[in-house]
Copies of this chain bind each other. A is one copy, B any other.
Amino acid sequence: MGRGKIPIKRIENQTTRQVTFSKRRAGLLKKTHELSVLCDAQIGLIIFSTTGKMCQYCTEGYRRQKVSGTCIPEHDNREHLYNELAVLRKETRRLQLSMRRYTGEDMSSIPFEELDQLEHELERSVIKVRERKV
Protein backbone atom coordinates (compact mmCIF):
# COMPACT_ATOMS: atom_id res chain seq x y z
CA MET A 1 0.00 0.00 0.00
CA GLY A 2 1.91 2.94 -1.15
CA ARG A 3 4.64 3.74 -3.57
CA GLY A 4 6.49 0.60 -2.70
CA LYS A 5 5.82 -2.64 -1.02
CA ILE A 6 7.38 -3.22 2.36
CA PRO A 7 8.05 -6.55 4.04
CA ILE A 8 6.22 -7.17 7.30
CA LYS A 9 9.10 -6.98 9.67
CA ARG A 10 10.32 -4.41 12.15
CA ILE A 11 11.16 -1.17 10.37
CA GLU A 12 14.73 -0.39 11.29
CA ASN A 13 14.83 3.31 10.52
CA GLN A 14 13.38 5.02 13.55
CA THR A 15 11.92 7.97 11.72
CA THR A 16 10.21 5.81 9.14
CA ARG A 17 8.95 3.54 11.89
CA GLN A 18 7.42 6.45 13.76
CA VAL A 19 5.74 7.82 10.65
CA THR A 20 4.38 4.43 9.71
CA PHE A 21 3.18 3.92 13.26
CA SER A 22 1.15 7.11 13.24
CA LYS A 23 -0.38 6.43 9.87
CA ARG A 24 -1.23 2.82 10.45
CA ARG A 25 -2.51 3.46 13.95
CA ALA A 26 -4.96 5.97 12.50
CA GLY A 27 -5.98 3.45 9.88
CA LEU A 28 -6.44 0.72 12.44
CA LEU A 29 -8.58 2.90 14.68
CA LYS A 30 -10.74 3.86 11.73
CA LYS A 31 -11.23 0.25 10.65
CA THR A 32 -11.98 -0.77 14.20
CA HIS A 33 -14.63 1.89 14.46
CA GLU A 34 -16.15 0.91 11.11
CA LEU A 35 -16.35 -2.75 12.02
CA SER A 36 -18.03 -1.99 15.32
CA VAL A 37 -20.61 0.26 13.71
CA LEU A 38 -21.30 -1.72 10.55
CA CYS A 39 -21.61 -5.05 12.29
CA ASP A 40 -22.76 -3.92 15.67
CA ALA A 41 -19.80 -5.64 17.32
CA GLN A 42 -18.19 -4.94 20.67
CA ILE A 43 -14.51 -4.22 20.23
CA GLY A 44 -11.64 -3.27 22.46
CA LEU A 45 -8.35 -2.13 20.99
CA ILE A 46 -5.36 -0.85 22.86
CA ILE A 47 -2.06 0.20 21.34
CA PHE A 48 1.27 1.06 22.93
CA SER A 49 4.00 2.59 20.84
CA THR A 50 7.63 1.80 21.55
CA THR A 51 7.87 5.15 23.25
CA GLY A 52 5.23 4.00 25.69
CA LYS A 53 2.45 6.16 24.40
CA MET A 54 -0.93 4.54 24.67
CA CYS A 55 -4.14 4.92 22.76
CA GLN A 56 -7.27 2.86 22.75
CA TYR A 57 -10.63 2.30 21.21
CA CYS A 58 -13.46 0.53 22.83
CA THR A 59 -17.14 0.21 22.26
CA GLU A 60 -19.63 0.87 24.99
CA GLY A 61 -20.41 -2.68 25.89
CA TYR A 62 -16.88 -3.90 25.57
CA ARG A 63 -15.95 -6.49 28.17
CA ARG A 64 -12.61 -8.02 28.60
CA GLN A 65 -12.04 -11.70 28.52
CA LYS A 66 -11.78 -13.60 31.72
CA VAL A 67 -8.73 -15.71 32.35
CA SER A 68 -8.89 -18.40 34.91
CA GLY A 69 -6.39 -20.13 37.10
CA THR A 70 -4.65 -17.42 39.02
CA CYS A 71 -4.91 -17.05 42.74
CA ILE A 72 -5.90 -13.63 43.92
CA PRO A 73 -5.47 -12.13 47.38
CA GLU A 74 -8.75 -11.20 49.02
CA HIS A 75 -8.09 -7.61 49.73
CA ASP A 76 -6.34 -5.35 47.35
CA ASN A 77 -7.17 -2.31 45.40
CA ARG A 78 -7.11 -2.09 41.69
CA GLU A 79 -5.68 1.35 41.61
CA HIS A 80 -2.57 0.00 43.24
CA LEU A 81 -2.42 -2.81 40.71
CA TYR A 82 -2.71 -0.42 37.82
CA ASN A 83 0.08 1.69 39.19
CA GLU A 84 2.30 -1.30 39.54
CA LEU A 85 1.52 -2.35 36.01
CA ALA A 86 2.42 1.10 34.75
CA VAL A 87 5.73 1.09 36.58
CA LEU A 88 6.64 -2.39 35.46
CA ARG A 89 5.75 -1.65 31.89
CA LYS A 90 7.96 1.41 31.88
CA GLU A 91 10.84 -0.53 33.37
CA THR A 92 10.44 -3.36 30.88
CA ARG A 93 10.51 -0.89 28.04
CA ARG A 94 13.64 0.75 29.40
CA LEU A 95 15.36 -2.61 29.70
CA GLN A 96 14.32 -3.62 26.20
CA LEU A 97 15.85 -0.47 24.79
CA SER A 98 19.07 -0.99 26.75
CA MET A 99 19.33 -4.52 25.47
CA ARG A 100 18.82 -3.41 21.88
CA ARG A 101 21.54 -0.88 22.38
CA TYR A 102 23.94 -3.48 23.72
CA THR A 103 23.23 -6.09 21.11
CA GLY A 104 23.44 -3.54 18.34
CA GLU A 105 19.98 -4.56 17.22
CA ASP A 106 18.79 -1.05 16.65
CA MET A 107 21.96 0.83 15.95
CA SER A 108 20.19 3.37 13.76
CA SER A 109 18.43 4.96 16.70
CA ILE A 110 21.63 5.69 18.58
CA PRO A 111 22.97 9.23 18.18
CA PHE A 112 26.51 9.38 16.85
CA GLU A 113 27.65 11.18 19.98
CA GLU A 114 26.79 8.15 22.07
CA LEU A 115 28.58 5.59 19.94
CA ASP A 116 31.97 6.18 21.52
CA GLN A 117 30.55 5.70 24.98
CA LEU A 118 28.73 2.53 23.98
CA GLU A 119 31.87 1.18 22.37
CA HIS A 120 33.81 1.71 25.59
CA GLU A 121 31.10 0.09 27.68
CA LEU A 122 31.16 -2.96 25.46
CA GLU A 123 34.94 -3.12 25.54
CA ARG A 124 34.88 -3.01 29.31
CA SER A 125 32.40 -5.87 29.33
CA VAL A 126 34.62 -7.91 27.03
CA ILE A 127 37.55 -7.30 29.35
CA LYS A 128 35.53 -8.45 32.34
CA VAL A 129 34.57 -11.63 30.55
CA ARG A 130 38.20 -12.33 29.66
CA GLU A 131 39.30 -11.72 33.23
CA ARG A 132 36.72 -14.17 34.39
CA LYS A 133 37.96 -16.78 31.95
CA VAL A 134 41.48 -17.00 33.38
A residues sitting closer than 8 Å to B (CB atoms) are 6, 8-11, 17-18, 20-21, 24-25, 27-28, 31-35, 37-50, 52, 54, 56, 61-68, 70-72, 75-86, 88-89, 91-92, 95-96, 98-99, 102-104, 107-108, 110, 112, 115-116, 118-119, 121-133
Give complex CA distance A67, B52 in Å: 11
**In the assembly, how many copies of this chain are there?**
2
State how many angstroms separate the Cβ of A100 from the closest Cβ of chain B: 10
CB-nearest residue of chain B to A110:
B132
Classify the interface of chain A: helix, strand, loop or mixed: helix
Q: In the complex, which residues of chain B have a beta carbon less than 8 angstroms from the beta carbon of A72? A: 78-79, 82
A21 touches B37 (CB 8 A): no
Question: Contacts A124-B104, A129-B122 hold; do A39 and B17 have CB atoms under 8 A apart?
Answer: yes
Question: Contacts A10-B40, A104-B129 hold; do A88 and B88 have CB atoms under 8 A apart?
Answer: yes
B96 touches A70 (CB 8 A): no
B86 touches A84 (CB 8 A): no
